[in-house]
Amino acid sequence: MMLRRRGALGGARQGRKALAVPLCALAVILGPTGAAHAGTGGLTPVDQKSPNVERSTDIYYLILGFSGLIMLLVTVPLLIFIVRYRGRGRSREVEGAQIRGNTRLELAWTALPVLILAVIAGFVFYKVPGITDLEAEASGDSRLEIKVDGRQFYWQYRYPNDVIAIDTLRVPLGQVVELEIGAPESDVNHSFWIPALGGKFDAIPGETTRTSFRADEVGTYEGQCAEFCGVQHAAMLQAVEVMPRGEFETWLANEAGAQRRGASELGERTYQGACAKCHGMAGEGLIGPPLAGNSLLQDRDALEMIVRNGQGAMPAVGEGWEDRQMDALFRHLRRNVAGGSGAEDGS
Amino acid sequence: MAVRVERPTTVVPWNRGRVSSWLTTVDHKRIGILYIVTSLVFFLAGGVLSILMRTQLATPDADVFSRDSYNQLFTMHGTTMIFLVVVPILAGFGNFLVPLMIGARDVAFPRLNALSYWLFLFGGIVLYSSWFAGGGAPQSGWTSYPPLSVYTQGNGQDLWILSLHILTLASLAGAINFIVTIHNMRTRGMTWMRIPLFVWTIEVYSILLVLVLPALSAGLTLLLLDRQAGTHFFIPSEGGNAVLYQHVFWFFGHPEVYIMILPAMGIISEVIPVFARKPIFGYKAIAISTAVIGFYSLLVWGHHMFTVGMPGYLLGFFMVSSMIIAVPTGIKIFNWVATTWRGNLIFDTAMLFALGFIVVFTIGGLSGIFLAAYPFDWQVHDTYFVVAHLHYVLFGGSMFGIFAGLYYWWPKMFGRILNERLGKVHFWLTFAGFNMAFFPQHMLGLDGMARRIYNYRDVGQWAEYNLVSTIGSYIMGLGILAFVVNVVITRKRGRRAGNDPWLADTLEWYTTSPPQPHNFDQVPYVTSARPLRDLRRRLQEARG
Ligand SMILES: [Cu+2]
């Protein structure tokens, strides 16, 4: 009849078991956290290299603080009750205190979260302007506007002077950089994100999103396309290279000339960003067929057709490219990919 | 001496009979069990998919699966767990329990109920048949955003759409059935403030399903037309709008999250008082908060889309509405904790899962606040932080609740009590493995690891965290294995349960275990939310 009769022994075991719950949980949760060293890792977000990230990280820490508080408010009483009111082998017939509720308590644990959330929401609204409208370092400092296109499976950037860059974006230190993010109409959704420099914004065909950052340390910061975009989504990596201002200006001016003359690395970069992820770094073939030794590479018109319009499982990677980019790619393909090794024939 | 409400078990057990009797059944109990068993099979399938994914992710550059296969794995895993496991298994609990809990003979439309189950099974089979389709299983994620999902080649994506269409019909039929049953078939004396809290959650679950499933159906239809009929609803190059799908999908998708968690919360609200030997603390507060959560869940879908470039006032609106939902959720959590106060706590497996639920679900709720704060969401959206969050809510929440419910009601469903020792092994392995698998994913997300990638850069501590996560998932797998063994052992050798092994409060424990085909010979007049306890006390008084 009785479901179970627990002796004193069983009760003690039960008690220890009850304690094991929280201890285990704590160990499991703190274990990996503790293993993380200073700097990033653990519950520390990425290094912040731009004021907007610093500000959104402030929001993070505020919420983290309140979350810790609420976690304690829930788990500490729960643990105490679990230990204090454990059955200790008492029979199921023994009822606990028949308490049905308490209006004041209900009001308290309604009001407290409301208050906390109001503080959090207020803090977010207070921080938002500093995140979305980055102020210049010195008043009157100009902003650098860059157009970002997410494409299967590379990022194409265009500077105000029409310089084109692929996957790696070079920017000046300390200047506000505004990104206008989109995708060609025939492409799919992507999301541009360099964690150290700011939140992510989607690159959606037919839409434009905007964001800005102001890098405050020279270095290269990596990121990854954050919206699933197909078979090579994981290979869609991007980086921002922050350079001292003078160095950046010089590079940008030189690059503009080089790209006009067809003497830049644009062809190689384009191949690495837009083709190699499917055809291999040396054209050895991967998802797509090998290009090395492929006679199509000698046929400019046929190649252009394929690159601009896609074919079968190959997306229209080159749709909308200007001729100079196509020229640069074609030149690179013929020199470095077509004949396998060293089929140098000029152009 | 124990006073128990026992009825003689002379009736033919309703769950015996030939296979054909299961194929033609319209008995809500059998349909409920069909739902639960089918969902558990899909749960094992979805679990295997996740173990395979974690195996691929154990090291940064593993070569266990190709890109395509990996994309298929996460698409099928997500779709399975949401549409073929959590939603239908909760429908299964609802089916088995709602009529018993409200003292009814069956649901309002038994045949519609049967149709609903068979549609569900059919939808599941259609989804899994996609492995054999040209181009393989669908591979654009369980959210299947266009344009990608329109351009995806092969018929896997079409089968995905078809399957979800069928499942939508199944859920809709089931939901209408629940609503009509709960409104019209409650036994005498069972007012709205006396129905079990689980029934409350099924009521809100059903209303939400009826409200939002049509949105999903509409979105899926447009997607299918875009793929197969040459329309361009979501194709920007032809004048369509890719973001529109996201709005439609999440208008369904966010309430779906509450559809998956509310009944699990209902289960917790049934289990904790019984194993604390107390009434639930704040019945009204919990019931009302259920309705409030249901209402607000319709107003928060935009928080899945903070990165698509919404105007500031919308960002603000969706942040505030999302945060408001935390309040009724908090009310529930505090009331559950208060229910354990001054109780006589009995730590059977059902109770362990319920207590575990409180801890892990609270973590999941709190990480949701980070995601609601949109400037910070811009950082962690579409990263492993979100993966951690949704698993804390859907596994730590829904699945822990479901396991609590399985251990609690198993005796009522099958007449035998699941083995407690194995149950505890199941709980501890699952609890430890779960936290190991998913807590480090918060760190991965904070450190910039995007989701839905089959390999990852070896930077920071990504490799370590991922390895820990993979080991955790294996430990969880062992826990689930313990459950499977438990089920097998219990079938033959489980201890027989009386009508009311837990000395519970609600009407389903008044009838036999398993219940007779017509549920009750007669139903006592209900005078409170705990009719069975009232009855026990009356009997005790009568005996002196
Ligand atoms: Cu992408």
Residuewise pLDDT in 10s, chain B (544 residues): 455 665 555 445 555 667 888 898 999 999 999 999 999 999 999 999 999 999 999 999 999 999 999 999 999 999 999 999 999 999 999 999 999 999 999 999 999 999 999 999 999 999 999 999 988 999 999 999 999 999 998 899 999 999 999 999 999 999 999 999 999 999 999 999 999 999 999 999 999 999 999 999 999 999 999 999 999 999 999 999 999 999 999 999 999 999 999 999 999 999 999 999 999 999 999 999 999 999 999 999 999 999 999 999 999 999 999 999 999 999 999 999 999 999 999 999 999 999 999 999 999 999 999 999 999 999 999 999 999 999 999 999 999 999 999 999 999 999 999 999 999 999 999 999 999 999 999 999 999 999 999 999 999 899 999 999 999 999 999 999 999 999 999 998 899 998 999 999 999 999 999 999 999 999 999 999 999 999 999 999 998 6
Q: Rounded to an integer, what distance in angstroms lies between the CA atom of residue B509 and that of residue B520?
A: 10
- Closest Cβ–Cβ partner in B337, B374, B379 for A195: B379
Per the rule left: phi > 0, alpha: psi between -120 and 50, beta: everything else, A189 is beta
Q: Are residues A152 and A251 in the same domain?
A: yes
pLDDT of A11 over the 50 cut: no
Q: Are residues A167 and A185 in the same domain?
A: yes
Two tokens, residue A82: 């679990």
Q: Are residues A292 and A236 in the same domain?
A: no
| CATH superfamily, with its number, for domain B25-543 | Cytochrome c oxidase-like, subunit I domain (1.20.210.10)
Nearest CA-CA distance, residue A335 and chain B, Å: 31
Nearest to B38 by CA among B94, B113, B88: B88
A195, A223 contact by CB (below 8 A)? yes
pTM: 0.93
Residues of chain B neighbouring A91 (CB-CB closer than 8 A): 2
Percent of chain A at pLDDT > 70 equals 86
Cβ contact A67–B456 (<8 Å): no
- Euclidean distance between the first and the last CA atom of chain B, given in angstroms as a whole number: 12
For residue A325, the domain's CATH number is: 1.10.760.10
B393, B442 contact by CB (below 8 A)? no
Q: Are residues A121 and A22 in the same domain?
A: yes
Task: Report the relative pairing of strands A177-182 and A209-213 from DSSP bridges.
Answer: antiparallel
Longest dimension (CA), chain B: 82
**Domain boundary, last residue among A239, A260, A281:** A260
Q: Rounded to an integer, what distance in angstroms lies between the CA atom of residue A213 and that of residue A223?
A: 14
Residues 161-190 of B with CB under 8 A from A: none
| Residue list, CB under 5 A from ion ligand 1 | A 190, 225, 229, 236
ipTM of model: 0.93
Q: Are residues A158 and A241 in the same domain?
A: yes
Q: Domain for residue A345, yes or no?
A: no
Nearest to A189 by CA among A235, A233, A227, A148: A227
Nearest CA-CA distance, residue A57 and chain B, Å: 7
Two tokens, residue B277: 């030997």
Domain chopping of chain B, boundaries = 25-543
Which structural domain, as residue segments, surrounds residue A151? Answer: 144-260
The total domain count for chain A is 3
Q: Domain for residue A94, yes or no?
A: no
Q: Are residues A330 and A272 in the same domain?
A: yes
Q: Domain for residue A279, yes or no?
A: yes
Cβ contact B148–A229 (<8 Å): yes
Choose from A209, A227, A237 for mutation: most chain B CBs within 10 A. Answer: A227
Cα A278 to averaged position of ligand 1 atoms, centre (Å): 14
Respond yes or no on whether the N-terminal peptide bond of residue B42 is cis (omega within 30° of 0).
Answer: no
Q: Are residues A149 and A125 in the same domain?
A: no
**Domain boundary, last residue among A260, A278, A298:** A260
Nearest CA-CA distance, residue B18 and chain A, Å: 32
Residues 6+ away with beta carbon under 8 Å from A97: B278, B341, B342, B343
CA distance to A232, B271, B464, B543, per residue, from B113 (Å):
44, 26, 48, 43
Q: Rounded to an integer, what distance in angstroms lies between the CA atom of residue B81 and that of residue B84?
A: 6
**Domain boundary, last residue among A218, A235, A260:** A260
* pLDDT band (50, 70, 90) for residue A2: very low
